[in-house]
Amino acid sequence: MNKQAPSHVLGIETSCDETAASVVLRDSDGLGKILSNIVRSQIGEHQPYGGVVPELAARAHVVHLDDIVARALQEAGLELSKIDAVAATAGPGLIGGVLVGLTTAKALAAALGKPLIGVNHLEAHALTARLTDNIAFPYLLLLVSGGHTQFVAVRGVGDYALWGTTIDDALGEAFDKVAKMLSLGHPGGPAVEEAAKAGDATRFKFPRPLLNQDRLDFSFSGLKTAVRLQAEKIAPLGEDDIADICAGFQHSVTDIVSSRAAAALERFGREFPGYKKKLVVAGGVAANQAIAAVLEDVAARADGRLVVPPAYLCTDNGAMVAWAGAERLVFGAVDELDMAARARWPLDDKSMAVGVK
């Protein structure tokens, strides 16, 4: 590809309970640099409810987004007029929050006369490793978050093939629900991981759904139910009981993820002969150290490479949105100001193809 002019892209992320904005530079060689990355978490507002309340999340975005954008520009040392494009998450996500960010981006793009890029939140996760590690296409993506658990073959910008997904709960959702039933608080994933460190993973034998089936799909609903039944059986729970349940649950999860990842890398080798096997893990659950450890082992056994972006770029942030916008801007894949926000938007949707508005 010919060299492109450097571009500064403002990215806005409001799909759930983080209000975030970032400025990213994509240089003429296609390398990225984060100039600013401001994230305001709403964990404190939602903790009393044990989960994210959509109306509260959207309201907080309205209150704080303008300030977050201003801080991102200030930290980047860039005037708003110097931005080359404005990117914002246009879906999937909580529709109220998505609307706040996308509407703000539209207003900025219209006022500045700059391109608008409506970013698929999942694509932003999928391309983050290219920002952090300059990884080349193709590669295998394991997206693990509160709302998604799937294997995706990433063949290029806007070119994705879904190989496997959850048929019920996403992995992040399962962690959160286990945490809630054990009264570990919100967010659940880090709480379960921490409790598991002190637990005996062999005390309880929890199921590993779909493990022996020849497919790359996931199922966590049955595992979650087994945890609930076991907790009810031995109630009231002491600290050791909670730790052992968390350890057993996480051990089942790592077995499932390890088996699926090995099969997915084997398929990658068949479908992309001549390319080194590369497994990229993205999404909030990618920060789980137990999962990262088993995936490191799987990648090594497959003579492949595991890439996990820094934890602060695995959770929702504006830098990944800005980078996805910069990647799409190279192809002229910009959007009209009447672009609609989408609560659901599969990563392999045909609308993702570059050059298609």
Q: Could you give the angle at which helices 121-133 and 318-329 cross, rounded to 10 degrees?
A: 90
What value does the mean pLDDT take over residues 158-174?
95
> pTM score, two decimals?
0.93
pLDDT surpasses 50 at 1: no
Average pLDDT over residues 39-66: 91
User: What CA–CA distances, in Å, run from 198 to 186, 193, 334?
Assistant: 19, 10, 50
Same fold for the pair 7-131+313-352 and 138-309:
yes
Question: Residue 273, SS3?
Answer: coil
DSSP 8-state class, residue 316: S
The ranges assigned to domains in the chain are 7-131+313-352, 138-309
Alpha carbon distance 116, 270 (integer Å):
38
For the chain, helix (H) and strand (E) counts, in that order, are: 11, 10
Distance CA 175, CA 105 (A): 33
- May I ask the CATH class of domain 138-309? alpha beta
What average pLDDT does this structure show over 77-97? 97
Strand partners, 75: none
Whole-number percent of the chain with pLDDT over 70: 98
| Residue pair 44/59 in contact by the 8 Å Cβ criterion | no
Which residue, among 19, 102, 91, 12, has the nearest Cα to 60 in the 3D structure? 19
pLDDT digits (tens, 9 = 90+) for 2-14: 567 899 999 999 9
pLDDT one-digit tens code per residue, 278-333: 999 998 888 899 999 999 999 999 999 999 999 999 999 999 999 999 999 999 99
Helix/strand/coil for 355: coil
d(CA 58, CA 54): 6
Which tens digits make up the pLDDT trace of 98-135? 999 999 999 999 999 999 999 999 999 999 999 999 99
| Both tokens assigned to 82 | 């110097």
Residue 296's H or E segment, with its range, is: helix 289-301
CATH superfamily of 7-131+313-352: ATPase, nucleotide binding domain (3.30.420.40)
What pLDDT band is residue 50 in, cutting at 50, 70 and 90?
confident
Residue 262's SS3 state is helix
Q: What local confidence, expressed as pLDDT, does residue 181 receive?
A: 95
H-run or E-run covering 45: helix 43-46
Percent composition of the chain: helix, strand, coil (DSSP 3-state, to 5): 45, 20, 35
Q: Supply the pLDDT for residue 355.
A: 54
Q: What is the mean pLDDT of the chain?
A: 95
Our CA dihedral for 246, 141, 157, 334, rounded to 10 degrees, sits at -10
C-alpha distances (whole Å) from 115 to each of 4, 47, 85, 317 are 16, 37, 5, 21
CA torsion 227-228-231-235 (nearest 10°) is 180
What pLDDT is attached to residue 356?
Answer: 44
- Mean per-residue pLDDT for 208-220? 93
Contact (Cβ atoms closer than 8 angstroms) between residue 333 and residue 354? yes
Distance CA(353)–CA(113), nearest Å, equals 24
Residue 229's SS3 state is: helix
Whether the predicted pLDDT of 83 surpasses 90: yes
What is the pairing mode between strands 18-26 and 7-13? Answer: antiparallel
Task: Render 152-213 in DSSP notation, one character per residue.
Answer: EEEEETTEEEEEEEBSS--HHHHHHHHHHHTT--SSHHHHHHHHHTTS-TTSS----TTTTS
- Whether 158 shows a pLDDT value over 80: the answer reads yes
